[in-house]
Amino acid sequence: MTSLSVGRAPQQLRAAAGGLLAAAVVGAAGMALTAGPSTGQVPASPSSPSLPAEETMAVPASSEPPTPVAVALPRLGVRSELDPLQLQPDGQLQAPPRWNVAGWYVEGPRPGQPGPAIIAGHVDGPDGPAVFWRLKELRPGDRIEISRADGSTAVFAMTRSLIVPKDRFPTAEVYGPTPHAELRLITCDGGFDRGSGHYLDNLVVFATEVDT
């Protein structure tokens, strides 16, 4: 079985909008959400990296944006519903339950709130490419659209991407608080270790909300 772990997140950590978050990272040391390359192996659940217990900027519930329900990468022709992801009792983040559907960490900021909203997805599965198979094709400036429950859309522009070894995942850089609404899309990347059932790297796409 492939492992989708990314370190551990404190059970008590709950991301206030615009504050800290413990979220989904794809990969063995980020949140791994994949089977091996065309191996037919099935992933285990991922975990979140430990996050610094620093100050958070609480936002009144009344100002929260609507719940995100789908993510789209228009230039790549990719669109997916969003399954809710939560921390498990052991402090690990569950993996998205469906190969071709991404997941949003529900205890982190919502897309449109200050802070990094986290969306994770598998790169492949037992039958081949999965929802974030083409994520590495995104380029700076590409739009990422988040559809919300009230029919509105939050639009983000990719700023950069980062490929990192899972055993050196940059927790603060990915999950740390930000003054503006940002987005992180995370999946696995790099070589696949058939012995451990892990991809060796994580791919993280960074994006910032833009006016529409």
- Work out the pLDDT band at 165, boundaries 50, 70, 90: very high
Domains of the chain by start residue, with CATH:
84-140+159-204 (2.40.260.10)
List, as own/partner pairs, every contact residues 57-63 make where C-beta atoms lie below 8 angstroms and the sequence separation is at least 24, other chains included.
57/16, 57/17, 57/18, 57/19, 57/114, 57/177, 58/16, 58/17, 58/18, 58/19, 59/16, 59/17, 59/18, 59/113, 59/114, 63/17
More confident residue, 89 or 159: 159
Angle at 20 between CA 15 and CA 21, to 5 degrees: 55
Residue type, 52: P
Which of 16, 3, 134, 159 is CA-nearest to residue 71? 134
Q: Tell me the per-residue pLDDT of 60-99, one tens digit each, with 9 for 90 and over.
A: 445 789 999 999 999 999 999 999 999 778 766 678 999 9
Beta strands in 130-172 (DSSP E): 143-148, 153-165
Dihedral (CA of 87, 89, 95, 98) sign:
negative
pLDDT score, position 139:
97
**171 phi and psi angles, rounded to 5 deg:** -55, -50
Q: Rounded to the nearest 5°, which phi and psi values hold at 168?
A: -130, 40
115, 177 Cβ separation under 8 angstroms: yes
Q: What pLDDT score does 167 carry?
A: 85
The percentage of residues in the chain with a pLDDT greater than 70, rounded to a whole number, is 69
> Considering only 14-23, 63-72, 129-138, 164-173, which range has the smallest mean pLDDT?
14-23
Q: Is 133 helix (H, G, I), strand (E, B) or coil?
A: coil
Quote the pLDDT of residue 212.
Answer: 62
CA 85 to chain centre: 10
Predicted TM-score (pTM) of this structure: 0.76
What's the pLDDT band for 147 if we cut at 50, 70, 90?
Answer: very high
Q: Give CA 88 to chain center in angstroms.
A: 16
Alpha carbon distance 48, 7 (integer Å): 5
Whether 113 shows a pLDDT value over 90: the answer reads: yes
